[in-house]
Amino acid sequence: MDVKKIFLPESELPRQWYNIAADMPTPMEPPLHPGTGQPVGPDDLAPIFPMPLIEQEVSQERWIDIPEEVLEKYLIWRPTPLYRAYQLEKYLETPAKIYFKNEGVSPAGSHKPNTAIAQAYYNKISGTKRITTETGAGQWGSALSMCCAMFGLECNVWMVRISFDHKPYRRIMMETWGASCVASPSTLTKAGQQILDADPDCPGSLGMAISEAVEAAVMDDNAKYSLGSVLNHVMLHQTINGLETQKQMAIAGDYPDVVIGCAGGGSNFAGNCFPFVCDKIHGKDIDIIGVEPASCPTMTRGPFAYDFGDTVQMTPLLPMHTLGHGFVPEPIHAGGLRYHGMAPLISQLIMDNLIRPVAVQQLETFQAGITFARTEGFISAPETDHAIAVVIREALKAKEEGKEKVILFNWSGHGLVDMAAYEAYLTGQLADHELPQEEIDRALKEIEPLPKPQQFKG
């Protein structure tokens, strides 16, 4: 029988993260202070992040050592297996070879603990007693809860009320790991109280939850804030995924022609693809595709501009593809792909033509997820279904062209806590949605596009 899963021995677990900042063909624009408009320095960030993470945020070192304590915890689920999707290939009758990296084997069921465990560790050694964060659908909040438990840290999660009410399982996971989880807006912060005063039935938003979590961290000397995507240090931690994948592809004796991942804030996509982007910068011919929903087309239709990370304009201005900090996407069922912005590193790599963004409609993604579940067994997170939709497109294109392409994608997590989304699809309650141009136009008025940099020439 052909080998289905490529395991990496624990002794081969990467000992360093890969920092793509060292290889960016176009230097990154700095984040700007929301008040002064001047570049943000380490001291500006010190009230909310511990210093080791701030140092990583601005580091230009290509390789950054992973601490022993983090490696030890990584072993709970890492290295994760790389799978060959034989059953899907057979079903599609494609000559393409399809590989996927299974990040769903972590206890939280997704890639999120890759950075959560590192952030918990650096907070622990910096004297933090308590970490605050926000969560939308709950994947990030649950991952951070687990990792805080492992390092004996208190964890307080503000969860967008509408998800809090409709997704109790994620909340209970957080509580099982010992964290507290409250609906946002809450009465625990001034920001939340103000919002509730104005609208007692407010359903909440990620922007509001960020405001609450940041405020709570700033008000308590023992607390820091933690973010699960977008920032450079988050992308950095996630690269352990792609570094493992490169070793596993070598064991399989293949190299990908196409690398695919879904992108909300960008951390799962970056984690798998950045080591391959490095290869591309150094001459490899790879098509690296980030997939987003057509109803929240940050990468494909949002301008590259300085914008706030949150709705209430508390965070630094980041240079990124954005639909505007006031953008409220349609309630599509992939909660992790509803962010208005995109990680600055990914945004810049799109400008440099090293990453190709693609937007897909919701129904195609669920159909892809169903096909995957009935062939390969695994039920994917709705976010992950976006990647699978494009994998199927590429595999069918390879069939048309008669090419034995190697397609790699990041299976970022399972969907077992998101089954309501599948029910909505199976019972015909979902519809496609394309963002109208006037929404983009409105976003453009809020923000100022950056000058388009010189194109990268490969």
Q: Which residues contribute to the site for its own copies (CB under 8 A)?
A: 1, 3-5, 7, 9-10, 68, 71-72, 75-77, 87, 105-109, 113, 146, 149-150, 168-169, 172-173, 175-178, 369-370, 373-379, 414, 416-417, 419-420, 422-423, 426
Q: Give the nearer residue to its own copies in terms of CB position, either 155 or 346.
A: 155
Q: Which residues share a beta bridge with 83?
A: 5, 100
Q: Give the nearer residue to its own copies in terms of CB position, either 286 or 417.
A: 417
The answer to whether 358 touches 290, Cβ cutoff 8 Å, is yes
Q: How near is the Cβ of 405 to its own copies at its closest, in Å?
A: 23
Q: How near is the Cβ of 354 to its own copies at its closest, in Å?
A: 34
Q: Give the nearer residue to its own copies in terms of CB position, either 85 or 349.
A: 85
Residue appearing with tokens 């060959």: 84
> How many helices (DSSP H) and strands (DSSP E) are in the chain?
18, 16
Q: How near is the Cβ of 56 to its own copies at its closest, in Å?
A: 22
Q: Give the nearer residue to its own copies in terms of CB position, either 322 or 362.
A: 362
Q: How near is the Cβ of 334 to its own copies at its closest, in Å?
A: 16
Q: Give the nearer residue to its own copies in terms of CB position, either 27 or 168.
A: 168
Q: Helices (DSSP H) in 181-257: which residue ranges?
A: 190-198, 206-218, 232-252
Closest to 301 measured CA to CA, from 318, 323, 325 = 323
The answer to whether 240 touches 14, Cβ cutoff 8 Å, is yes
Q: Give the nearer residue to its own copies in terms of CB position, either 145 or 361.
A: 145
Q: How near is the Cβ of 144 to its own copies at its closest, in Å?
A: 13
Question: Cis before residue 185, ω within 30 degrees of 0?
Answer: yes
CA distance 44 to 23: 26
Q: How near is the Cβ of 1 to its own copies at its closest, in Å?
A: 6
Q: Give the nearer residue to its own copies in terms of CB position, either 191 or 389.
A: 389
Q: Which two tokens stand for residue 125?
A: 């050694």
CA distance 59 to 318: 16
Q: How near is the Cβ of 198 to its own copies at its closest, in Å?
A: 31
Residue 251 CB: number of other CB atoms within 10 A? 14
Q: How near is the Cβ of 72 to its own copies at its closest, in Å?
A: 6
Q: At what angle do helices 362-376 and 419-426 cross, to 10 degrees?
A: 110
Q: Say whether 167 sits in a helix, a strand or coil.
A: coil
Q: Give the nearer residue to its own copies in terms of CB position, either 116 or 443.
A: 116
Q: Give the nearer residue to its own copies in terms of CB position, either 46 or 419.
A: 419
Contacts of residue 402, defined as CB under 8 A and 6 or more positions apart, other chains included, come to 95
CA distance 98 to 406: 6
Q: How near is the Cβ of 426 to its own copies at its closest, in Å?
A: 6
Q: Which residues share a beta bridge with 97?
A: 406
Q: What is the DSSP string of 248-292?
A: HHHHHT---SEEEEE-SSSHHHHHHHHHHHHHHHTT---EEEEEE
